[in-house]
Amino acid sequence: MTAPAIIDRPQRRDAAENREIILSAAAAVLSINPDASVDDIAAAASLSRRAVYGHFSGRDAIVEQTLTRGASRIATSVASVEHEDALVELALLGATLWAEVNHARALANFALRGPHRRQVAAALAPLRSRLEETIARGVRDNDIRSDIAPKTLARLIEGGALAVLDEATRARMSLQRGHRLVILSALSTAGMSWRGAEKLIDTHPILHVSMGAK
Amino acid sequence: MTAPAIIDRPQRRDAAENREIILSAAAAVLSINPDASVDDIAAAASLSRRAVYGHFSGRDAIVEQTLTRGASRIATSVASVEHEDALVELALLGATLWAEVNHARALANFALRGPHRRQVAAALAPLRSRLEETIARGVRDNDIRSDIAPKTLARLIEGGALAVLDEATRARMSLQRGHRLVILSALSTAGMSWRGAEKLIDTHPILHVSMGAK
DNA sequence: TATAACTTGCACATTGCTGTGCAAGTTATA
DNA sequence: TATAACTTGCACAGCAATGTGCAAGTTATA
């Protein structure tokens, strides 16, 4: 016999894939039911519960990873949004959220209740501060309502957007329709009349279907 | 000895009171955390867990009663709302919801997830159909936006209102401020410009502080 | 193709919550 | 004030979910 050398092989490719699959499944399942069990997640990932524990130390770790992941995806998208017109920028922020519906909803489900509140709040901080910034600018430019404090207004726009995301999911809305609806919701809450909002969208090609970045 | 007559005394007054206290506590606790345990509810009611089981057959019964109760309170309030101007009526519906914040939020927490979905949906049906009605009338009168289907719009207004309720609770907003904010949110989502919404409120005393009914 | 990486299924201990029984108190009220 | 109504605390069984160990498979890859 040759030497019984202890060889360390690298992680197998399919294992790494499965890890991703689990996180995707978690995002999908948790966005519907934030109390979903490890078994539920495993089933959605077409893996055994036991295998899941091979990838994550426990349910909390899965939730944590899912949230961190969703938050950073959104943060990244949000960072690249910019426009001279605060209203257009606001609309683009809404569109960004729409592009990440599943992640956004998973986050939203944990934003209020449960022991992950703080973590989620921290993870969403970039989006929120960005939103407040844009709103403050819009108020200065007289484009956005001044009868509600920017901080409060930011929360209301955020809440309204999530309501749209829920309704869009529930009604299996088309991508185009959902895209436009999130934008309309944000602009309306920001103070625009509906005709004004429609017009703004129509006159800015960047707000149409494909949105700016990939 | 006299006859060992088996006497049936009526329920004691404090017991009936305790039942009410439990339901109030449940509404408060469940509006914050829909997964609250029987122990949490008992603690909020300043009673032992065991005593709670003396009043209700189980957690489900408590939840069920709480929801039914909240729904009927809201349904009653909603039924008395009426105004020739659809926009004003919409605003009044919002104010009604505000007057029942705790119950409304408790309901909302169960409207989406869990096995009580159907029950809650059924209980909220009157409010929703009323909302859709009012919206449809507003659209006919050219007072409400026509770019979003009335059914969808109803859901968005509902969602927006709940977002306000959440934010108002979180920020410990004053009654007046919350009242006005819910109305503003509804009118904005309905398509009004913010100046238009402010003006509408100011020109209709019925939309001010004390709202119509008690 | 040999082998380590990975998955699976099962068993098992643990935890937290539900719901019930009972004995010993406390409190409203006939 | 006697007594039934009510509350309390404790013990206990049941259940669902978590997290771990292990033996026997399957699959990627060196």
Average pLDDT over residues A131-156: 97
Q: What is the mean pLDDT of chain B?
A: 91
d(CA A104, CA A112) in angstroms, rounded, equals 13
Residue closest to D4, CA→C1'?
Answer: B9
Q: Is the pLDDT at B37 greater than 80, yes or no?
A: yes
- Residue B102's pLDDT is 76
Q: Protein footprint on strand C: which nucleotides are under 7 Å from a CB?
A: 3-11, 16-22, 27-30
Tokens for A120, please give them: 């989620």
Q: If you compute the radius of gyration of chain A from its CA atoms, what whole number of angstroms results?
A: 21
Question: Which nt sits closest to B7, CA to C1'?
Answer: D4
In this predicted structure, the answer to whether residue B8 has a pLDDT above a threshold of 90 is no
pLDDT confidence of residue B4 = 39
pLDDT of residue A1: 33
pLDDT tens string B144-190? 999 999 999 999 999 999 999 999 988 999 999 999 999 999 999 99
Query: With contacts defined as CB-CB under 8 Å, which chain B residues touch A192?
Result: 193-194
Residue B7 is predicted with a pLDDT of 60
pLDDT digits (tens, 9 = 90+) for A77-102: 999 999 999 999 999 999 999 999 87
Task: Tell me what pLDDT residue B82 has.
Answer: 95
Shortest Cα distance, chain A CAs vs residue B162, angstroms: 8
Q: What is the mean pLDDT of residues A136-151?
A: 98
Choose between A170 and B19: higher pLDDT: B19
Q: B34, A159: Cβ pair inside 8 Å?
A: no
Bigger pLDDT: A144 vs B124 = A144
B15–chain A nearest CA distance, Å: 32
Tell me how far apart the alpha carbons of residues B102 and B106 are, in angstroms, rounded to a whole number: 6
- Chain A / chain B CB contacts < 8 angstroms: 93
Spell out the SS3 assignment of A138-164.
Answer: HHHCCCCCCCCCHHHHHHHHHHHHHHH
* A50-CA/C10-C1' distance, Å: 11
Letter string b/e over residues A134-166, b meaning 16 or more CB atoms within 10 A of that residue's CB: bbbbbbeeebbbeebebebbbbbbbbbbbbbbb
Torsion of CA B174, B178, B184, B188, to 10 degrees: 130
CA distances from A77 to A51, A62, A109 (A): 32, 23, 20
Work out the minimum CA distance from A164 to partner chain B, whole angstroms. Answer: 6
pLDDT at A7: 60
pLDDT average, residue stretch B49-64: 97
Please give the C-alpha separations between residue B131 and each of A154, B101, B202, B203, in angstroms, as whole numbers: 25, 17, 23, 22
Residue A34: strand, helix, or coil: coil
Q: Which of A32, A148, A188 is opposite residue B189, by nearest beta carbon? A: A188
| Averaged pLDDT, A28-39 | 94
CA distances from A112 to A70, A89, A121, B136 (A): 16, 26, 9, 33
